[in-house]
Chain A
Amino acid sequence: MDINYQIPSLALLWVLAALLLVILPGALRLPPWILLMALACMSWRLLIFQGRVSYPGILVKMVIVFTALPLTVLQYRAQGVGLDAAVCLLILGVVFKLLEMQHKRDIVIVIILAYVLIMIGFIYSQTIPAGLHALLSVMVTTGALVALNRDNARNNFADTSLLAVQLVLQSIPLTLILFVLVPRIGPLWTMPLPVSSTKTGVTDEMTPGDISSLGRSGELAFRVSFEGEAPSHERLYWRGLVLDFFDGQTWRRAGNTLLDYGMIRRYPSEFRGVALGEPMDYDVILEPTQQTWVYGMQLAAVASGDIVQDRNYSLHTAKPITQRMRYQLRSWSDYQVDLQLPGALRARALQLPQNDSNTRSAALAQELRAASSDERDYVNRVMRHFREQPFYYTLSPPLLGESSIDDFLFETREGFCGHYAGSFVYLLRAVGIPARVVVGYQGGEYNPFENYTMVYQYNAHAWAEVWLEGEGWVRFDPTGAVAPERISQGVEAVFADQPGFMEDAGFSMMRFRDTQWLNTLRLRLDAIDYAWNRWVVSYDEDLQLAFLEEMFGENARSYVVLALSTSTALIFTVAAYFLLRGGRGQRRDPMTRSFLALAADLEASGLPRRKSEAPMDYCARVSIERPELASAMQTVTRMYVQLCYATPEADSEQLRREFTLALQALRRRVLSRARRAGLVAVSTFSRQR
């Protein structure tokens, strides 16, 4: 029976603050009218709180709900019932609940939904700022719970936020233990993930000029850390896709890529990649691309992660990469790929556009082929052609016409990597040498602080692979023939002065790489972000197992439950000790404490109070022993007994004051006597006790 419950007034402000904090980041991704509606509902609620308007009637509520629901349906009809729609409905539900929130239970529901909304934020972003924002949100939401459960002088902003912050901080040790030790399991069922429409990174088709637009972006593509020493810059070819179909303008993937997946193991070794040389183990954290392929060095073996390899040794995922993804690969310093080329693949690698109008290029190819002794010599001649003729490597090449290869090779001669790779492959195919374009990234910036390599979008690159008898697929990079420093030092070294380079990066720290300390700061910040991603965001089953095996050895899994329960119990005990210590012993009201202090003073002067001696008996004994104190002692004791044992009415402020004064006067007299007797030290000691 609790009819007189009132919502503490400050609790509402806390709830509104918490909601605003958890909705804002999500609402920026959601349609703007949701944010407007949320803000409107919050303001309305605030006005109700101030007593300026009343709660909405049933009619108003119906109107609001029946406007919002069709709007949501319209908004998300195209995308189907996805996560975004669910988030949208959840936010609307919470803000509508605000308008009819009158009972404590309603507020609790809103607060608990606020916790769920914090989690929703992680579906979209798990960066360090997102993590900090979530921590702050948890503190404010917890503050709302505290404010809801206290209604007294301490329900002010300072005390409540102090307690909320304390509670959250005290929870962190246990959180860390649980985070590290609670066994991670894979998804129970598949969930639709929000797929952003803006795909980033290298695409699965290349029209010369495409990749140069990536050159304008200073965004991170992925980060790699090598187990041992990182290979030198010119060896960092991050293979993405193989583009082997050319229609005269654009390079694409050919054929049914599904057929290509996962077939490699079934082939005899001469049709496969064979690892030679030293293995290199490395760990990649890929930024979300919304695409279904990932990057690795040739020849890659997948060490962990849900990745399949297709017939062209490209690496694919089952679903678009919407979150930062971490995977481990092993590559070899030397390898042989496809010593024998099956007919279908050879045909694919020789394909040329129908109605080919690049007649001058074809003639050039025949001319060079006639002059060369074998295929390898021919390839070298083509490379030399690029090197010796006046070709320019540029970020903003001129547009090409209908016969794109002819236009490039004979007219403009200015191009980005795509132009060189494309025309190179064309020249090889024109004389019957299997060749194909590979797109991916080349190079990367080494970060000494966490020992990893950062690969940016402007590192996007295209090169060629040529199939040679007895050698298999061999990588050739015609861009390297034109601009060797692109390969050896990186794109930054070549383009730093070109106007288009990183033009889309906006205000980026990358612009200040020439300022020493700013560059160091940039690398440090990225190193922190990398460590966060590597150890926190990508902490999963595999990483957990690796960590546990390092800690507990082989049978790590069997120790987990023990370790988990022991450390939880330990933390709980330690917390209990610190929270519940003190406050022990008898609680005495101020009167009793003063009276005991008097007894202690008397004890110091040689009149100890016997155990279980009643105050009045003690008083009588003191009066006999110290007649000079008798009257004062009797007065004090009488007042004390009256205060302690008499009826409540007797417990007046007046009496208390008189008692305190009389007692102080008496203690002064006792103490001055004791001081004369040199017993002060004892007296102080016994008072402390």
Chain B
Amino acid sequence: MFSEPIMSPVSAVNFWFANRVQRWLARNVPAVSSVSLHRRNIFILPTTHGLLYVAATTLIFVTAINYVLSLAFGLAFLMVSLFILSILHTFRNLHHLAVKGVGGDAVFAGEDACFTVLLQRHAERLHEALELSFPKSLISRADLIEGEQQRVNIYLPTRRRGVLKAPRLKVQTRFPLGLWRAWSMLDLDMRCMVYPAPVPGPLPGADSTAGSGKGQSTQPGGDDFHGLRNYQPGDSPKQVAWKNLARGQGLKVKQFVDSSGDRFMLDWEMFAGLDAEARLSRLCFWVLELARSDVDYGLNMPGVRIAPGRGDAHRNRLLSALAQWQQTQELDPAGNSGEAG
């Protein structure tokens, strides 16, 4: 029996067509961080509502013929003219709109990546009822009528870690009559780091300081985070792991060790026995936990070694390393849910 997936003729044609469209777009609407919309990158077609309108116009025209109603001819022609003229008005609503890719903030896999674009208008032009979206994303609406520029966030769901390149952004409008849809597909060359999804898990204590080369004792009440233990009456509320409680993992208390000046090295082997992605998720969780505590921490993975440090920049460096570990290709937005790269 056939075990390979066989493409149906229809989807083969669709695939071929989508491919052609992508290649055409790449050639004619190339990736740049800032685009001004003009007649070569704006597309325009009637909407379903526009077709309904045309049908009604035809009905009026036929009635005018059959009842010999001169004014009904006039009405039909006025509607035709309105239809034709609204091509220009819809086109004009995108024309000379400048779209600048600002970028996207890093997110954890599973969260929505937020890409920000900056819309700028000419002093004499207004742009109303703009719809910005990526394929499969929610539509963000914007009106550029008061200020001369405006930031718009478009959210794209993520599934996997890596560097997510924003797909082509569709900037679309149906203004003013909804009879035509003008749109542009822009590659604004935006990227966004997708960190692994943090997954909490116990930190095997023995190996926790393997990198520091120092033995240590667990002295409750210290500054350095060590792990979690079950809550006992009398524990300080400050030490309760509220996050874990919220996740439904019971009442735990964060154990800290007094190891000021100590360095804490997260190691790939701490989570031996798990697969790579699971390890990355747990490492990610611990990077976040450690970043909140007052300790220098570093990371040791196959091929990656980051010396201990602290601060936001340091944390982001570690998270980025986790996101990009053995990830050579950028995430394909369409196949974001697909196989690993």
Q: Which residues of A contact B (CB under 8 A)?
A: 1-4, 105, 108-109, 112-113, 115-116, 118-119, 122-123, 126, 130-131, 134, 138, 142, 145-146, 148-154, 163, 167-168, 170-175, 178-179, 182, 184-191, 193, 323, 536-540, 568, 572, 575-576, 579-580, 582-590, 647-648
Contact partners of B79 in chain A: CB under 8 A: 115, 138
| A to B CB contacts below 8 Å, 12 in the list | A4-B138, A108-B52, A112-B56, A115-B53, A119-B63, A122-B75, A123-B63, A167-B89, A171-B78, A171-B84, A178-B80, A589-B149
**Are B177 and A142 interface neighbours, CB within 8 A?**
yes
Is B85 an interface position by the 8 A CB rule? yes
Partner of B103 from the list A175, A185, A648 (CB cut-off 8 Å) is A648
**Are B71 and A116 interface neighbours, CB within 8 A?**
no
How far is A433 from B235 in the complex, measured between Cα atoms in Å?
A: 135
Residue of A at shortest CB range from B78? A175
Contact partners of B103 in chain A: CB under 8 A: 647-648
Q: A116-B59, A171-B81 are in contact. Are A108 and B178 (CB under 8 A)?
A: yes
Report B63-100 CB contacts with A as 1/0, cut-off 8 Å: 11111111111111111111011101101100110100
Contact partners of A536 in chain B: CB under 8 A: 70-71, 74
How far is A171 from B88 in the complex, measured between Cα atoms in Å?
A: 11
Q: Is the interface of A mostly helix, strand, loop or mixed?
A: helix
**Known contacts A119-B72, A152-B143, A167-B85, then 8 further A-B pairs from the complex at CB < 8 Å, ordered by chain A residue:** A115-B56, A122-B71, A142-B82, A145-B178, A150-B128, A583-B122, A587-B96, A588-B120
A580: shortest Cβ distance to chain B, in Å? 6
B186: shortest Cβ distance to chain A, in Å? 15
Contact partners of A123 in chain B: CB under 8 A: 63, 67, 69, 72
**Are B92 and A579 interface neighbours, CB within 8 A?**
yes
Is B107 an interface position by the 8 A CB rule? no
Q: A116-B60, A119-B60, A153-B145 are in contact. Are A168 and B78 (CB under 8 A)?
A: yes
Is B139 an interface position by the 8 A CB rule? yes
A53: shortest Cβ distance to chain B, in Å? 28
Residue of A at shortest CB range from B64? A119
Partner of A149 from the list B57, B77, B177 (CB cut-off 8 Å) is B177
Contact partners of A130 in chain B: CB under 8 A: 71
Q: A130-B71, A134-B71, A537-B71 are in contact. Are A112 and B81 (CB under 8 A)?
A: no
**Are A587 and B145 interface neighbours, CB within 8 A?**
no
**What 9 pairs across the A-B complex have the smallest Cβ distances?**
A171-B81, A178-B77, A174-B81, A152-B143, A583-B96, A583-B122, A587-B98, A149-B178, A119-B60
Partner of B66 from the list A149, A179, A189, A540 (CB cut-off 8 Å) is A189
How far is A384 from B327 in the complex, measured between Cα atoms in Å?
A: 122
A554: shortest Cβ distance to chain B, in Å? 25
**Are B98 and A1 interface neighbours, CB within 8 A?**
no
Q: A119-B63, A153-B143 are in contact. Are A579 and B138 (CB under 8 A)?
A: no
A83: shortest Cβ distance to chain B, in Å? 9
A488: shortest Cβ distance to chain B, in Å? 38
Is B175 an interface position by the 8 A CB rule? yes
**Are B74 and A188 interface neighbours, CB within 8 A?**
no
Q: How many A-B contacts at CB < 8 Å in the complex?
A: 195
How far is A181 from B78 in the complex, measured between Cα atoms in Å?
A: 14
Contact partners of A170 in chain B: CB under 8 A: 85
**Are A126 and B70 interface neighbours, CB within 8 A?**
yes
Contact partners of A168 in chain B: CB under 8 A: 78, 82
Contact partners of A582 in chain B: CB under 8 A: 122, 124-125
Contact partners of B56 in chain A: CB under 8 A: 112-113, 115-116
**Are A576 and B86 interface neighbours, CB within 8 A?**
no
Contact partners of A109 in chain B: CB under 8 A: 52
**Are A583 and B95 interface neighbours, CB within 8 A?**
yes
Contact partners of A163 in chain B: CB under 8 A: 176
**Are A146 and B176 interface neighbours, CB within 8 A?**
yes
How far is A537 from B66 in the complex, measured between Cα atoms in Å?
A: 15
A239: shortest Cβ distance to chain B, in Å? 26
Contact partners of A184 in chain B: CB under 8 A: 65, 73
**Are A580 and B91 interface neighbours, CB within 8 A?**
yes
Contact partners of B66 in chain A: CB under 8 A: 187-191
Is B174 an interface position by the 8 A CB rule? yes
**Are A539 and B176 interface neighbours, CB within 8 A?**
no
Contact partners of B207 in chain A: CB under 8 A: none
Report B41-55 CB contacts with A as 1/0, cut-off 8 Å: 000000001001100
**Are A579 and B77 interface neighbours, CB within 8 A?**
no
Partner of B178 from the list A115, A148, A579, A647 (CB cut-off 8 Å) is A148
Q: A168-B78, A175-B77, A587-B120 are in contact. Are A188 and B62 (CB under 8 A)?
A: yes
Residue of B at shortest CB range from A83? B67
How far is A311 from B177 in the complex, measured between Cα atoms in Å?
A: 58
Is B151 an interface position by the 8 A CB rule? yes
How far is A108 from B77 in the complex, measured between Cα atoms in Å?
A: 20
Contact partners of B145 in chain A: CB under 8 A: 152-154
How far is A171 from B146 in the complex, measured between Cα atoms in Å?
A: 28
How far is A185 from B66 in the complex, measured between Cα atoms in Å?
A: 9
**Are B89 and A540 interface neighbours, CB within 8 A?**
no
**Are A167 and B177 interface neighbours, CB within 8 A?**
yes
Contact partners of A589 in chain B: CB under 8 A: 118, 120, 148-149
**Are A149 and B81 interface neighbours, CB within 8 A?**
no
Residue of A at shortest CB range from B47? A108
Is B190 an interface position by the 8 A CB rule? no
B64: shortest Cβ distance to chain A, in Å? 7
How far is A168 from B174 in the complex, measured between Cα atoms in Å?
A: 18
Residue of B at shortest CB range from A325? B68
**Are A580 and B74 interface neighbours, CB within 8 A?**
no
